[in-house]
Structure 1
Amino acid sequence: MSAPQEPRPSGLKNPQAAVRGLGAGTLALETVVLLLMVAPLKTIAGDGSGPAIIMVLVLAVLAIVLAGSMKRSWAWAGGTALQVLLLLGGFLHWTLAAVGVIFGLTWVYVLHVRRTILG
């Protein structure tokens, strides 16, 4: 019989901080993309862009708050909820759903990396 294998170390000096940085960086990038959506959304959606722009701005604020809160365990669930809300924003305008798919897949990858590194 062989001895139980210990998990392989990640090679990172501080894996917790590295994973938090990845989550925070992803949310910060999402904030920038959301804010950059405002002008094109106003042009594309025209007069009906008000609710979609308000949602984009609220989600951008939420993303930056979550990015700063990555030390707390609830921030990871909040990041997942943010992606779901962005996808649901597709009911206001299709561009929100498109960005939601892109960042939703990115967030799934971030969660995979987190699980791989932290176990």
Structure 2
Amino acid sequence: MTEPDKAAAPAEGEPAAAARSSGLRNPEAAVRGLGAGTMAMEAVVLLLAIAPLSVIAEERKGAAIIAVAVAVVVAIVLAGSMKRSWAWPAGAVLQVLLLAGGLLHWALAAIGVIFGLAWAYNYHVRRSILG
């Protein structure tokens, strides 16, 4: 067996999952931090979207601003709840709801697309780290 093969193969009596170790000291905390950071960033972007929406949104201005305010609160709650099992699917639901918010204003759909892609990448990273 060559040197790279020895590093990839688990030692005798060691579980196979140890061979796929991410190298992180606490992978669960790292993944939680990634999800919480993404939700916090989304909350900030949504807060910053209120001012332009109040200027460019025409007939549905009030509904769009209320939808953004609710999404900000949900994103903040989700950022603090990444330890819970329901938080990751709820984050995906938030992205879908923002896409549906595109019916109120196209900017909400744009934010939904951007953070939907970021959330999909988070799921990929989570699966690759935690297995």
One fold, TM greater than 0.5? yes
In structure 2, what is the equivalent of residue 117 of structure 1?
A: 129
1:52 maps to a residue whose letter is A
Q: Which runs of 4+ in 1 moved over 2 A?
A: 4-7
The match for 2:64 among 52, 58, 72 is: 52
User: Are 2:99 and 1:87 aligned?
Assistant: yes
* Cα pair 2:98 2:112 within 8 Å, conserved: yes
Please, which runs of 5 or more residues in structure 1 have no aligned partner?
none
User: Are 2:55 and 1:43 aligned?
Assistant: yes
The match for 1:73 among 81, 85, 89 is: 85
In structure 2, what is the equivalent of residue 32 of structure 1?
A: 44
- The separation in 1 between residues aligned to 2:126 and 2:103, in whole angstroms, is 31
Please, which runs of 5 or more residues in structure 2 have no aligned partner?
1-8, 11-15
User: Are 2:75 and 1:63 aligned?
Assistant: yes
- The separation in 1 between residues aligned to 2:49 and 2:24, in whole angstroms, is 35
In structure 2, what is the equivalent of residue 99 of structure 1?
A: 111
- The separation in 2 between residues aligned to 1:64 and 1:79, in whole angstroms, is 11
Aligned Cα root-mean-square deviation (Å):
1.2
Structure showing greater Rg: 2
Offset, 1:113:
0.2
- The separation in 1 between residues aligned to 2:104 and 2:22, in whole angstroms, is 42
With normalisation by structure 2, the TM-score equals 0.85
- The separation in 2 between residues aligned to 1:79 and 1:12, in whole angstroms, is 24
Q: Percent identity, aligned pairs only?
A: 68
